[in-house]
Structures are given as structure tokens and as C-alpha cells.
Structure 1
């Protein structure tokens, strides 16, 4: 089961969001371990999405990867989006017309 989970998490974190047809969910601790140990990602911030859900953003400064987790009150987290080319605020030149 762990090997299957690791493979699914790897797939979810490495595929562009537009290609990912399924959301990967698991215990928050397992997902966080994979994000920190396999991908070098660290917690960047987050907030309440509802009374029962928290949205978290994780990223790797070294690798430029990022992941958005949605964590439920029951301790399960789901990878909602992931990608590459993470940039800190102020490092991104937004196209004209997009507020920055």
C-alpha cells in the first residue's frame, strides 16, 4: 500500500495540474512526509477554507516545485494542485491587466 501511495503521490506532484484527472488523498502526515522528504517542500502558508477545511501551500525553494493541499478536520489531506517554477512575491512580472 505504501509503495502504491508513493507512486500516486509522485504522479500527482509531478504532473501538471491540467493533466491530473484525479485528486490524491491520504493522511496528512503521510502527504507531508512525502512533500518534505522526497520533494524538499516546506510549508509556505495557508488558511481556513471553511470550518472543516484548511488550504495549505507547500513549496521547494531549491527545486521550484509547489503543492496545494486541502486538509479536512478528520486529518485527511488532498493534493488539489501542484506545479513547478515557484516564485516568491515580487519575483514575478505579471502581465498587464493582472493586479499585483
Structure 2
């Protein structure tokens, strides 16, 4: 497990009957979430895409390959919805 995931998982401490350590999303005001990801975890936003007019999906990665998937809502809240290790960027190849 990555060093970055341990503090985040500590926030999610639940009874032993929980199925997943990320059964519930971690949500914060967007500026606080961005500060935590950049300042505390050394991550940067490496990809983003519009899900709908109210949501943007963001991928945050760090130099060790840890990744975090964040959904940012138009009302000013961002939520971590998934995280993992070994992020590998894909470079498109020219089909020609």
C-alpha cells in the first residue's frame, strides 16, 4: 500500500464489518482538497474531463505512480472516489 494512501485510509476508519476502505467518498471544499493533494501528498492534476455540466473528473498522480480519482462538483465540493498505485500514462500512437 502506498505511503500516501495510509493517511487517507485512516480518515475512513470504520468497523471491521466494512467491505471496502473506500466505501464512502472523502469530500471537502475544492480548495482544501486541492491543497491536501498538492501540499500533503505531492500530487498534481494530470488529467481531467467533464462528466456532465455539474461534474469534472480529475486524475491526480505523484512521482511514485500513486493516483487519486476526484470528482469536482460545480457547487464547490470535491470528493475522492478511488485511489491506487502504479499509474502509467498512455502516449497515443499514430495509427498511420
Gaps of 5+ in 1: 1-8, 91-100
Are the counterparts in 2 of residues 12 and 82 from structure 1 also a CA contact under 8 Å?
A: no
Are the counterparts in 1 of residues 9 and 21 from structure 2 also a CA contact under 8 Å?
A: no
Task: Determine the structure 2 residue equivalent to 1:73.
Answer: 74
Q: Which is richer in helix?
A: 1
Residues 1-100 of structure 1 aligned to structure 2 (within 5 Å): 10-11=8-9, 18-60=20-62, 62-89=63-90
Are the counterparts in 2 of residues 12 and 24 from structure 1 also a CA contact under 8 Å?
A: no
Q: Distance in 1 between matches of 2:87 and 2:58?
A: 15
Structure 1's consecutive aligned runs of 4 or more residues displaced over 6 angstroms after TM superposition are: none
Gaps of 5+ in 2: 1-6, 12-19, 92-96
Q: Distance in 1 between matches of 2:26 and 2:73?
A: 13
Instruction: Using structure 1 for the length normalisation, give the TM-score.
Output: 0.69
Instruction: Using structure 2 for the length normalisation, give the TM-score.
Output: 0.71
Kindly state the Cα deviation for residue 69 of structure 1 after the two structures are TM-superposed.
Answer: 0.7
Q: In structure 2, do the counterparts of structure 1 residues 50 and 42 end up closer, same or farther at CA, with 3 Å as the change threshold?
A: same
